[in-house]
Amino acid sequence: MEPHLLGWNANFDEYFRPYKIKGLRAGRVTCKIKDNYLVTFEEKSITARITGRFRHNAQLNKDFPAVGDWVVYEIKNSNPHAFIHAILPRENAYVRKLPISGGRKLNNGVIGGGKTEEQVIASNINTAFIVVGLDNNFEIRRIERFLTLIYNSGIEPVVILNKVDLCINIAEYINQVKEIANKVTVHSVSAEKNVNMDVFFKYLMCGKTVIFLGSSGVGKSTITNFLVGNEIQKIQSISKLTGKGKHTTTNCELISLQTGGIIIDTPGIRELQLWGDVEILEQSFEEIKQLSYYCKFKNCQHRKEQGCAIQKAINDKRLSQSRVNSYKKQLAELQRLDTRRRDFKKKLNKK
Ligand SMILES: Nc1nc2c(ncn2[C@@H]2O[C@H](COP(=O)(O)OP(=O)(O)OP(=O)(O)O)[C@@H](O)[C@H]2O)c(=O)[nH]1
Ligand SMILES: [Mg+2]
Ligand SMILES: [Zn+2]
Protein backbone atom coordinates (compact mmCIF):
# COMPACT_ATOMS: atom_id res chain seq x y z
CA MET A 1 0.00 0.00 0.00
CA GLU A 2 1.25 3.44 -0.91
CA PRO A 3 2.15 5.52 2.20
CA HIS A 4 -0.29 8.30 1.25
CA LEU A 5 -3.13 5.76 1.41
CA LEU A 6 -2.21 5.22 5.05
CA GLY A 7 -2.36 8.96 5.78
CA TRP A 8 1.26 9.95 5.13
CA ASN A 9 1.62 13.54 3.97
CA ALA A 10 4.15 16.28 3.25
CA ASN A 11 4.44 17.26 6.93
CA PHE A 12 5.44 13.78 7.97
CA ASP A 13 7.85 13.68 5.06
CA GLU A 14 9.51 16.78 6.45
CA TYR A 15 9.66 15.47 10.02
CA PHE A 16 11.04 12.17 8.80
CA ARG A 17 13.89 13.62 6.73
CA PRO A 18 16.63 13.57 9.43
CA TYR A 19 15.81 9.96 10.27
CA LYS A 20 15.64 8.89 6.66
CA ILE A 21 19.22 10.00 6.14
CA LYS A 22 20.22 7.61 8.91
CA GLY A 23 18.56 4.73 7.11
CA LEU A 24 15.62 4.44 9.50
CA ARG A 25 12.09 3.62 8.34
CA ALA A 26 8.66 5.10 9.01
CA GLY A 27 5.44 3.22 9.67
CA ARG A 28 2.04 3.76 11.25
CA VAL A 29 1.04 2.16 14.54
CA THR A 30 -2.05 0.06 13.83
CA CYS A 31 -2.40 -1.72 17.15
CA LYS A 32 -0.88 -1.50 20.62
CA ILE A 33 -1.00 -4.10 23.34
CA LYS A 34 1.01 -3.24 26.43
CA ASP A 35 4.57 -2.76 25.19
CA ASN A 36 4.00 -4.34 21.79
CA TYR A 37 3.15 -2.33 18.76
CA LEU A 38 2.05 -3.39 15.34
CA VAL A 39 3.58 -1.05 12.79
CA THR A 40 2.40 -0.99 9.20
CA PHE A 41 4.33 0.21 6.19
CA GLU A 42 3.66 -0.42 2.54
CA GLU A 43 1.99 -3.83 2.41
CA LYS A 44 3.47 -5.28 5.57
CA SER A 45 3.02 -5.14 9.33
CA ILE A 46 5.76 -5.79 11.81
CA THR A 47 5.71 -6.10 15.59
CA ALA A 48 7.82 -3.49 17.33
CA ARG A 49 8.99 -2.30 20.74
CA ILE A 50 10.46 0.97 21.85
CA THR A 51 14.20 1.24 22.37
CA GLY A 52 15.71 1.52 25.86
CA ARG A 53 16.63 5.09 25.13
CA PHE A 54 13.07 5.93 24.09
CA ARG A 55 11.81 4.48 27.36
CA HIS A 56 14.37 6.44 29.33
CA ASN A 57 13.26 9.72 27.74
CA ALA A 58 9.53 9.06 27.97
CA GLN A 59 8.09 10.56 31.13
CA LEU A 60 4.38 10.63 30.56
CA ASN A 61 1.79 8.38 29.01
CA LYS A 62 1.54 10.72 26.02
CA ASP A 63 5.24 10.29 25.27
CA PHE A 64 4.66 6.68 24.25
CA PRO A 65 3.45 5.63 20.80
CA ALA A 66 -0.32 5.39 20.28
CA VAL A 67 -2.47 3.92 17.55
CA GLY A 68 -2.42 6.27 14.56
CA ASP A 69 1.08 7.56 15.26
CA TRP A 70 3.71 7.62 12.58
CA VAL A 71 6.83 6.20 14.16
CA VAL A 72 10.45 5.87 13.15
CA TYR A 73 11.76 2.37 13.51
CA GLU A 74 14.70 0.16 12.79
CA ILE A 75 14.90 -3.49 11.86
CA LYS A 76 17.83 -5.36 13.33
CA ASN A 77 18.60 -8.62 11.64
CA SER A 78 19.00 -10.68 14.76
CA ASN A 79 15.70 -9.56 16.29
CA PRO A 80 12.20 -10.84 15.64
CA HIS A 81 10.71 -7.39 16.22
CA ALA A 82 11.57 -3.88 15.15
CA PHE A 83 12.72 -1.03 17.41
CA ILE A 84 10.85 2.27 17.60
CA HIS A 85 13.17 5.27 17.94
CA ALA A 86 10.75 8.18 17.77
CA ILE A 87 7.21 9.38 17.16
CA LEU A 88 6.79 11.89 14.34
CA PRO A 89 4.92 14.98 15.66
CA ARG A 90 1.18 14.31 15.90
CA GLU A 91 -1.19 16.45 13.86
CA ASN A 92 -3.76 15.93 16.60
CA ALA A 93 -4.67 13.36 19.18
CA TYR A 94 -7.83 12.16 20.81
CA VAL A 95 -7.09 12.17 24.54
CA ARG A 96 -8.94 11.60 27.77
CA LYS A 97 -7.89 11.70 31.38
CA LEU A 98 -5.89 8.64 32.34
CA PRO A 99 -8.33 6.64 34.45
CA ILE A 100 -6.00 4.25 36.23
CA SER A 101 -4.40 4.18 39.69
CA GLY A 102 -5.84 4.38 43.19
CA GLY A 103 -7.34 6.99 45.45
CA ARG A 104 -10.33 7.81 43.28
CA LYS A 105 -13.42 9.32 44.77
CA LEU A 106 -16.78 10.27 43.43
CA ASN A 107 -17.58 13.79 44.53
CA ASN A 108 -20.79 15.42 43.33
CA GLY A 109 -20.76 13.15 40.33
CA VAL A 110 -17.20 14.15 39.47
CA ILE A 111 -14.50 11.54 39.64
CA GLY A 112 -11.48 12.70 41.57
CA GLY A 113 -8.19 11.07 42.44
CA GLY A 114 -6.08 8.95 40.15
CA LYS A 115 -3.26 10.28 38.07
CA THR A 116 -3.51 13.71 36.55
CA GLU A 117 -2.29 12.76 33.16
CA GLU A 118 -3.74 12.56 29.71
CA GLN A 119 -3.97 9.34 27.80
CA VAL A 120 -3.63 9.40 24.05
CA ILE A 121 -6.21 7.02 22.63
CA ALA A 122 -5.29 7.61 18.98
CA SER A 123 -3.72 10.25 16.79
CA ASN A 124 -3.63 11.87 13.36
CA ILE A 125 -7.39 11.77 12.86
CA ASN A 126 -9.64 13.69 10.47
CA THR A 127 -13.12 12.80 11.73
CA ALA A 128 -14.38 11.45 15.06
CA PHE A 129 -17.70 9.59 14.95
CA ILE A 130 -19.63 9.53 18.21
CA VAL A 131 -21.73 6.41 17.80
CA VAL A 132 -24.87 5.90 19.85
CA GLY A 133 -27.35 3.07 19.59
CA LEU A 134 -31.01 3.88 19.10
CA ASP A 135 -32.00 0.91 21.24
CA ASN A 136 -31.55 1.86 24.87
CA ASN A 137 -28.24 3.54 24.60
CA PHE A 138 -29.16 7.10 23.72
CA GLU A 139 -27.85 9.44 26.38
CA ILE A 140 -27.47 13.07 25.42
CA ARG A 141 -25.19 13.90 28.38
CA ARG A 142 -22.70 11.33 27.21
CA ILE A 143 -22.67 12.82 23.72
CA GLU A 144 -21.87 16.17 25.33
CA ARG A 145 -18.87 14.68 27.09
CA PHE A 146 -17.58 13.14 23.89
CA LEU A 147 -18.01 16.49 22.13
CA THR A 148 -15.91 18.28 24.73
CA LEU A 149 -13.15 15.71 24.37
CA ILE A 150 -13.25 15.81 20.58
CA TYR A 151 -13.22 19.61 20.42
CA ASN A 152 -10.26 19.56 22.77
CA SER A 153 -8.47 17.29 20.32
CA GLY A 154 -9.12 19.60 17.39
CA ILE A 155 -10.91 16.92 15.39
CA GLU A 156 -14.21 17.27 13.50
CA PRO A 157 -17.03 15.50 15.37
CA VAL A 158 -19.94 13.74 13.65
CA VAL A 159 -22.76 11.99 15.51
CA ILE A 160 -23.89 8.58 14.26
CA LEU A 161 -27.25 7.28 15.44
CA ASN A 162 -26.95 3.56 14.74
CA LYS A 163 -29.60 0.83 14.87
CA VAL A 164 -32.34 2.91 13.21
CA ASP A 165 -34.00 -0.42 12.43
CA LEU A 166 -34.93 -0.62 16.13
CA CYS A 167 -36.34 2.89 16.38
CA ILE A 168 -39.59 4.53 15.28
CA ASN A 169 -39.04 8.15 16.35
CA ILE A 170 -35.67 8.85 14.78
CA ALA A 171 -36.41 12.54 14.16
CA GLU A 172 -36.89 13.09 17.88
CA TYR A 173 -33.37 11.86 18.60
CA ILE A 174 -31.86 13.89 15.78
CA ASN A 175 -33.55 16.96 17.26
CA GLN A 176 -32.14 16.24 20.69
CA VAL A 177 -28.63 16.17 19.24
CA LYS A 178 -29.25 19.30 17.20
CA GLU A 179 -30.42 21.07 20.34
CA ILE A 180 -27.06 20.61 22.04
CA ALA A 181 -24.86 20.81 18.93
CA ASN A 182 -26.56 22.52 16.05
CA LYS A 183 -23.40 22.72 13.95
CA VAL A 184 -22.54 19.06 14.24
CA THR A 185 -23.57 16.73 11.44
CA VAL A 186 -25.86 13.88 12.50
CA HIS A 187 -26.45 10.73 10.46
CA SER A 188 -28.84 7.92 11.30
CA VAL A 189 -27.85 4.50 10.00
CA SER A 190 -28.19 0.80 10.54
CA ALA A 191 -25.01 -1.17 10.11
CA GLU A 192 -26.79 -4.45 10.44
CA LYS A 193 -29.63 -3.69 8.00
CA ASN A 194 -27.49 -1.58 5.66
CA VAL A 195 -29.54 1.60 5.98
CA ASN A 196 -27.89 4.86 4.93
CA MET A 197 -24.41 3.36 5.22
CA ASP A 198 -23.12 5.27 2.21
CA VAL A 199 -22.88 8.41 4.40
CA PHE A 200 -19.49 7.15 5.55
CA PHE A 201 -17.80 7.23 2.19
CA LYS A 202 -17.29 10.97 2.00
CA TYR A 203 -15.31 10.84 5.27
CA LEU A 204 -13.23 7.90 4.13
CA MET A 205 -11.50 9.49 1.20
CA CYS A 206 -8.00 8.49 0.28
CA GLY A 207 -5.61 8.93 3.22
CA LYS A 208 -8.27 10.24 5.63
CA THR A 209 -8.44 8.70 9.09
CA VAL A 210 -11.67 8.36 11.05
CA ILE A 211 -12.21 7.09 14.58
CA PHE A 212 -15.29 5.40 16.05
CA LEU A 213 -16.09 6.32 19.66
CA GLY A 214 -19.00 5.35 21.87
CA SER A 215 -20.18 3.00 24.59
CA SER A 216 -19.81 -0.74 24.34
CA GLY A 217 -22.44 -2.40 22.18
CA VAL A 218 -23.47 0.60 20.09
CA GLY A 219 -22.13 -0.99 16.92
CA LYS A 220 -18.70 0.55 16.28
CA SER A 221 -17.20 -2.75 15.17
CA THR A 222 -20.29 -3.72 13.18
CA ILE A 223 -19.99 -0.44 11.25
CA THR A 224 -16.25 -0.97 10.83
CA ASN A 225 -16.77 -4.50 9.56
CA PHE A 226 -19.43 -3.33 7.14
CA LEU A 227 -17.06 -0.73 5.71
CA VAL A 228 -14.14 -3.12 5.59
CA GLY A 229 -16.45 -5.69 4.05
CA ASN A 230 -14.42 -8.48 5.49
CA GLU A 231 -14.78 -9.56 9.08
CA ILE A 232 -11.73 -11.83 9.03
CA GLN A 233 -9.31 -9.03 8.32
CA LYS A 234 -10.26 -7.26 11.52
CA ILE A 235 -9.88 -10.22 13.81
CA GLN A 236 -6.62 -11.22 12.17
CA SER A 237 -4.50 -8.23 13.01
CA ILE A 238 -5.50 -8.24 16.67
CA SER A 239 -4.82 -11.94 16.91
CA LYS A 240 -1.37 -11.33 15.56
CA LEU A 241 -0.55 -9.64 18.87
CA THR A 242 -2.82 -11.46 21.34
CA GLY A 243 -3.20 -14.86 19.76
CA LYS A 244 -6.99 -14.70 19.99
CA GLY A 245 -9.90 -13.02 18.26
CA LYS A 246 -12.72 -11.44 20.28
CA HIS A 247 -16.12 -9.97 19.76
CA THR A 248 -16.02 -7.12 22.24
CA THR A 249 -13.28 -4.78 21.18
CA THR A 250 -10.55 -4.65 23.79
CA ASN A 251 -7.95 -2.58 21.97
CA CYS A 252 -7.84 0.31 19.60
CA GLU A 253 -7.13 -0.83 16.13
CA LEU A 254 -6.37 0.94 12.88
CA ILE A 255 -7.61 -0.67 9.68
CA SER A 256 -6.93 0.61 6.20
CA LEU A 257 -9.55 0.11 3.53
CA GLN A 258 -8.79 -0.96 -0.01
CA THR A 259 -10.37 2.30 -1.14
CA GLY A 260 -7.85 4.39 0.78
CA GLY A 261 -9.71 5.45 3.91
CA ILE A 262 -8.47 4.49 7.35
CA ILE A 263 -10.62 3.45 10.32
CA ILE A 264 -9.74 3.36 13.99
CA ASP A 265 -12.10 1.15 15.98
CA THR A 266 -12.00 1.64 19.74
CA PRO A 267 -13.29 -0.28 22.74
CA GLY A 268 -16.35 1.18 24.48
CA ILE A 269 -15.24 2.65 27.77
CA ARG A 270 -17.50 3.08 30.77
CA GLU A 271 -15.95 6.15 32.32
CA LEU A 272 -15.38 9.17 30.19
CA GLN A 273 -13.19 11.54 32.13
CA LEU A 274 -12.70 14.92 30.59
CA TRP A 275 -9.38 16.40 29.61
CA GLY A 276 -8.74 19.88 28.32
CA ASP A 277 -8.83 23.55 29.20
CA VAL A 278 -11.94 25.22 30.54
CA GLU A 279 -12.09 27.32 27.36
CA ILE A 280 -12.99 24.26 25.35
CA LEU A 281 -16.54 24.50 26.74
CA GLU A 282 -16.98 27.59 24.59
CA GLN A 283 -17.25 25.12 21.73
CA SER A 284 -19.22 22.29 23.31
CA PHE A 285 -21.59 24.69 25.12
CA GLU A 286 -21.50 27.51 22.62
CA GLU A 287 -25.07 28.76 23.14
CA ILE A 288 -24.53 29.01 26.91
CA LYS A 289 -21.33 30.94 26.40
CA GLN A 290 -23.11 33.31 23.99
CA LEU A 291 -25.93 33.90 26.46
CA SER A 292 -23.53 34.53 29.34
CA TYR A 293 -22.29 37.70 27.62
CA TYR A 294 -25.71 39.17 28.39
CA CYS A 295 -25.57 38.39 32.13
CA LYS A 296 -25.55 41.56 34.20
CA PHE A 297 -22.49 40.53 36.17
CA LYS A 298 -19.32 39.49 34.44
CA ASN A 299 -18.59 36.80 37.01
CA CYS A 300 -22.19 35.53 37.07
CA GLN A 301 -22.43 31.93 38.28
CA HIS A 302 -25.86 31.63 36.64
CA ARG A 303 -27.61 30.64 39.86
CA LYS A 304 -29.94 33.23 41.31
CA GLU A 305 -28.10 36.40 40.35
CA GLN A 306 -30.01 39.42 39.20
CA GLY A 307 -30.01 39.90 35.45
CA CYS A 308 -28.74 36.41 34.64
CA ALA A 309 -29.36 35.79 30.94
CA ILE A 310 -29.08 32.05 31.37
CA GLN A 311 -31.71 31.86 34.09
CA LYS A 312 -33.92 34.01 31.90
CA ALA A 313 -33.43 31.66 28.96
CA ILE A 314 -34.39 28.71 31.17
CA ASN A 315 -37.51 30.54 32.35
CA ASP A 316 -38.41 31.37 28.76
CA LYS A 317 -37.90 27.72 27.82
CA ARG A 318 -35.21 28.60 25.30
CA LEU A 319 -32.68 26.54 27.24
CA SER A 320 -33.12 23.43 29.36
CA GLN A 321 -32.11 23.27 33.00
CA SER A 322 -30.42 19.90 32.42
CA ARG A 323 -28.22 21.37 29.70
CA VAL A 324 -27.10 24.11 32.09
CA ASN A 325 -26.51 21.56 34.85
CA SER A 326 -24.41 19.57 32.46
CA TYR A 327 -22.39 22.68 31.59
CA LYS A 328 -21.77 23.45 35.25
CA LYS A 329 -20.73 19.89 35.95
CA GLN A 330 -18.23 19.83 33.08
CA LEU A 331 -16.96 23.26 34.09
CA ALA A 332 -16.36 22.08 37.67
CA GLU A 333 -14.62 18.99 36.39
CA LEU A 334 -12.29 20.94 34.10
CA GLN A 335 -11.54 23.52 36.80
CA ARG A 336 -10.56 20.75 39.18
CA LEU A 337 -8.46 19.19 36.47
CA ASP A 338 -6.73 22.50 35.88
CA THR A 339 -5.71 22.80 39.54
CA ARG A 340 -4.49 19.23 39.63
CA ARG A 341 -2.58 19.60 36.39
CA ARG A 342 -0.72 22.56 37.82
CA ASP A 343 0.14 20.61 40.98
CA PHE A 344 1.25 17.67 38.88
CA LYS A 345 3.51 19.88 36.75
CA LYS A 346 5.10 21.35 39.87
CA LYS A 347 5.80 17.85 41.15
CA LEU A 348 7.33 16.84 37.81
CA ASN A 349 9.58 19.90 37.78
CA LYS A 350 10.82 19.11 41.28
CA LYS A 351 12.01 15.65 40.19
N1 LIG B 1 -30.48 -4.16 15.32
C2 LIG B 1 -29.25 -3.75 15.10
N3 LIG B 1 -28.23 -4.28 15.79
C4 LIG B 1 -26.99 -3.83 15.55
C5 LIG B 1 -26.72 -2.81 14.61
N6 LIG B 1 -25.39 -2.56 14.61
C7 LIG B 1 -24.85 -3.39 15.52
N8 LIG B 1 -25.80 -4.15 16.09
C9 LIG B 1 -25.60 -5.20 17.13
O10 LIG B 1 -25.13 -4.61 18.33
C11 LIG B 1 -24.24 -5.49 19.01
C12 LIG B 1 -22.96 -4.81 19.39
O13 LIG B 1 -22.25 -4.45 18.22
P14 LIG B 1 -20.68 -4.18 18.20
O15 LIG B 1 -20.37 -3.71 16.83
O16 LIG B 1 -19.92 -5.32 18.72
O17 LIG B 1 -20.55 -2.98 19.23
P18 LIG B 1 -19.25 -2.14 19.62
O19 LIG B 1 -19.65 -0.72 19.67
O20 LIG B 1 -18.12 -2.50 18.75
O21 LIG B 1 -18.97 -2.67 21.12
P22 LIG B 1 -17.56 -2.75 21.91
O23 LIG B 1 -16.57 -3.36 21.01
O24 LIG B 1 -17.88 -3.59 23.10
O25 LIG B 1 -17.20 -1.35 22.32
C26 LIG B 1 -24.03 -6.68 18.09
O27 LIG B 1 -24.82 -7.75 18.54
C28 LIG B 1 -24.51 -6.18 16.75
O29 LIG B 1 -25.02 -7.22 15.96
C30 LIG B 1 -27.82 -2.27 13.87
O31 LIG B 1 -27.71 -1.38 13.03
N32 LIG B 1 -29.05 -2.77 14.18
MG1 LIG C 1 -16.25 -3.22 19.11
ZN1 LIG D 1 -25.71 34.35 34.44
**pLDDT tens for each residue of 295-335:** 999 899 998 889 999 999 999 999 999 999 999 999 999 99
pLDDT for position 136: 77
* Overall average pLDDT of the 158-182 stretch: 95
Domain boundary among 201, 230, 265: 265
Please report whether residue 95 resides in a domain. Answer: no
Residue 324 labelled as part of a binding site: no
* Overall average pLDDT of the 77-88 stretch: 92
Residue 218 labelled as part of a binding site: yes
Are 189 and 315 members of one domain?
Answer: no
Question: What is the tens place of the pLDDT at every residue in 201-214?
Answer: 999 999 999 999 99
Please report whether residue 113 resides in a domain. Answer: no
Please report whether residue 104 resides in a domain. Answer: no
Alpha carbon nearest to ligand 1 atom 22, residue: 216
CATH number at residue 149: 3.40.50.300
Please report whether residue 70 resides in a domain. Answer: yes
Are 245 and 290 members of one domain?
Answer: no
Are 227 and 328 members of one domain?
Answer: no
Please report whether residue 108 resides in a domain. Answer: no
Q: Is the pLDDT of residue 102 over 90?
A: no
Are 135 and 183 members of one domain?
Answer: yes
- What percent of the chain stands above pLDDT 70? 89
Number of domains in the chain: 3
Are 26 and 129 members of one domain?
Answer: no
pLDDT for position 235: 46
Please report whether residue 320 resides in a domain. Answer: yes
Q: What angle do CA 78, 82, 87 make, to 5 degrees?
A: 150
With 0-12 / 13-18 / 19 or more C-beta atoms within 10 angstroms meaning exposed / middle / buried, residue 235 is middle
Domain boundary among 31, 63, 87: 87
Are 148 and 239 members of one domain?
Answer: yes
CA-closest candidate to residue 125, choices 152, 164, 106: 152
Lowest model confidence (mean pLDDT) among 69-73, 93-97, 245-249: 245-249
Are 173 and 288 members of one domain?
Answer: no
pLDDT for position 238: 52
Are 146 and 179 members of one domain?
Answer: yes
Please report whether residue 99 resides in a domain. Answer: no
Question: What is the tens place of the pLDDT at every residue in 103-142?
Answer: 555 555 555 556 678 889 999 999 999 999 998 778 999 9
Are 246 and 323 members of one domain?
Answer: no
Amino acid symbol at 131 = V
CATH number at residue 64: 2.40.50.140
Are 307 and 215 members of one domain?
Answer: no
Alpha carbon nearest to ligand 1 atom 8, residue: 219
Q: How far apart are CA 245 and CA 232, in angstroms?
A: 9
Structural domain harbouring 8: 3-87
Residues with CB under 5 A from ligand 3 (ion): 295, 300, 302, 308, 310
Are 134 and 244 members of one domain?
Answer: yes
Give the chain's count of helices (H) and strands (E): 10, 15
Q: Greatest CA separation found in the chain?
A: 74
Alpha carbon nearest to ligand 1 atom 9, residue: 219
CATH number at residue 333: 1.10.40.50
Q: Is the pLDDT of residue 155 over 90?
A: yes
Lowest model confidence (mean pLDDT) among 43-52, 109-118, 177-186, 304-313: 109-118
Please give the mean pLDDT across all residues of the chain: 88
Cα of 218 to ligand 2 centre, how many Å?
A: 8
Are 192 and 238 members of one domain?
Answer: yes
Indicate which ligand has the atom closest to the C-alpha of 222.
Answer: 1
